[in-house]
Amino acid sequence: MSTNLVLKHTLRFIVLVLLQVLIFNNIRFLGYVNPLIYIWFIISFPTGVNRSLTLLVAFLMGGVIDIFSNTPGMYAFATVFVAFARKDLLQLFVPKDMYANYEPSVKVLGLPIFLKYVTCMVIVLHLLLFTLEAFSFQHYWLVLLKTAINSVVTILLVLSTQKFK
Amino acid sequence: MEQLLRFLMRYGVYFLFVFLEAISFVVIVNQNSFQRASFLSSSNYISASVYSAANSFVEYFGLSEANKQLSDENNQLKNRVVRLEAELAQLTDTTDRRPLVLADKEYQFIAAKVISNSVNKLKNSITLNKGRLDGIEPEMGVINNQGVVGVVSAVTDHYASVIPVLNSKSRISCKSKRSNDFGVLLWNGIDPDYVQVDEVPRHAVIHVRDTLVTSGFSSIFPEGIPVGYVTRCATPENKSYYSIEAKTAAIFRTLSYVKVVKFKYKEELREVQKEDEQ
């Protein structure tokens, strides 16, 4: 990766962490709206980057958000998991003949594939994080409800940043 | 060795994955002990300064609400100070000499400061720094720790004017503390240290140095607050009443802090008295 690209992704990293901790973690609408928009960074992370590096970056991002929101380990765990699952999800949806290095987006993958990919990523992330947050299977319907609502919001937010043409 | 390296190269990412997840999981499970580590929490320097920078933007939107809360709190504290001051004055009274009147359920006291006062006119007046918003209403009694000062005549939101005893319009019902004979306290407008008592019948027993106190008939003053000390009493031939002169209990030239007497059941008492009249 060139310096330019590193800079670009560092900037994205910082902006998304700040957006997450300053705005999206502070929505008090209905009491459980907490879309995890920061995952946009992992979703759009270049696929050509070394997988280990991707995991480390995901761990760093989750850790930073953990520190900001006083939830030690939770975001780190969920983010690393999603970052790890990303390759398999992409392999599942993306045709084999796609070139190796790209940043997943509607423009590159087309809406149907991208939507499937994003939906899986986002749902897994929310489900994991809210489960860890509850840390029990009591009132699990609440975790599912939160997952459903926030996944929809996050997916819409992610889609709203995509160029369709 | 080479095999091990190849193995690690091939499956390194899985090990890394398991390793990172293990770290996270350990941290989650032991979160109570980690939450105590301040560098891992939002109280560390960087996250705290990010939060405070963000807050300095956000706080502008909450300013009016914060303002309101502060002024409410201020108000409450002020009331508390007033109440404590009144209590303190009460206690000072009891230690000084005799209790004037105990703060009980019927009477409440609103401490106030005299901000203007005159003694040299026929119709003197006093202004207090408390008003309607502090619970003062017309026809409330005003006393200080020496004795009766006057009666509230008019209030605005923040100020109250008082007709003191030293006003030719003032008529305060009083009695001799010793014999319980009733009279009306007036002022002839001559000497601000002396007041007159009228309507005490000739058969009453009044002596010089008797203490005159409030009668408690009206709802304005509690019973037994000193209004004056008899300095001269005579029974003129041509009148059916005593002619009594008394030194005022309160020293009007140096009034500073006073208490406004609030009678809780004023309306009730009035109603009962009205019914009685019919």
- Please judge whether B40 and A18 are an interchain contact, meaning their C-beta atoms are less than 8 angstroms apart: no
pLDDT for res B184: 92
Token match 């009594």: residue? B244
- Band (pLDDT 50/70/90 cuts) for residue B99 is very low
Q: Using DSSP bridges, classify how beta strands B148-155 and B226-234 pair: parallel, antiparallel or unpaired.
A: unpaired
Which of A23-32, A50-59, B216-225 has the highest average model confidence (pLDDT)?
Answer: A50-59
**Among B19, B21, B45, which would you mutate to test the A interface (most chain A Cβ atoms within 10 Å of its Cβ)?**
B21
Residue A165 lies in a domain: no
ipTM beyond 0.90?
no
Residue A121 lies in a domain: yes
- Please judge whether B28 and A68 are an interchain contact, meaning their C-beta atoms are less than 8 angstroms apart: no
Q: Nearest to residue B162, comparing CAs of B146, B143, B147, B145?
A: B143
- A163 strand-pairing partners: none
Question: Is pLDDT above 60 for A61?
Answer: yes
Q: Which helix (H) or strand (E) holds B272?
A: helix B266-277
Mean pLDDT, rounded, for B259-276: 80
- Band (pLDDT 50/70/90 cuts) for residue A119 is very high
pLDDT for res B230: 92
* CB distance A78 to A62 below 8 Å: yes
Instruction: Give the C-alpha separation, B131 to B118, whole Å.
Output: 19
Q: How confident is the model over B126-143, as pLDDT tens digits?
A: 888 888 888 888 889 998
Instruction: Give the C-alpha separation, B69 to B186, whole Å.
Output: 48
Question: Is pLDDT above 60 for A53?
Answer: yes
Instruction: Give the C-alpha separation, B214 to B167, whole Å.
Output: 17
pLDDT for res B94: 56
Mean pLDDT, rounded, for B182-204: 88
Residue A125 lies in a domain: yes
Residue A49 lies in a domain: yes
- Overall number of domains in chain A: 1
Percent of chain B with pLDDT over 70: 86
- What's the whole-number average pLDDT of chain B? 80
Percent of chain A with pLDDT over 90: 28
**Among A21, A75, A77, which would you mutate to test the B interface (most chain B Cβ atoms within 10 Å of its Cβ)?**
A77
Residue A140 lies in a domain: yes
Query: Closest partner residue to B40 among A18, A22, A72, by Cβ?
Result: A72
Mean pLDDT, rounded, for B248-271: 83
Mean pLDDT, rounded, for A15-28: 82
List the single residue in B with minimal CA-CA distance to A68.
B42
Is the CB of B11 inside 8 Å of chain A's CB atoms?
A: no
- Band (pLDDT 50/70/90 cuts) for residue A122 is very high
- Return the SS3 of B231: strand
Instruction: Give the C-alpha separation, A151 to A126, whole Å.
Output: 7
Instruction: Give the C-alpha separation, A105 to A157, whole Å.
Output: 13
Q: Which domain holds residue A115?
A: 3-160
pLDDT for res B43: 60
pLDDT for res A81: 93
- Band (pLDDT 50/70/90 cuts) for residue A102 is confident
Q: Which helix (H) or strand (E) holds B182?
A: strand B182-186
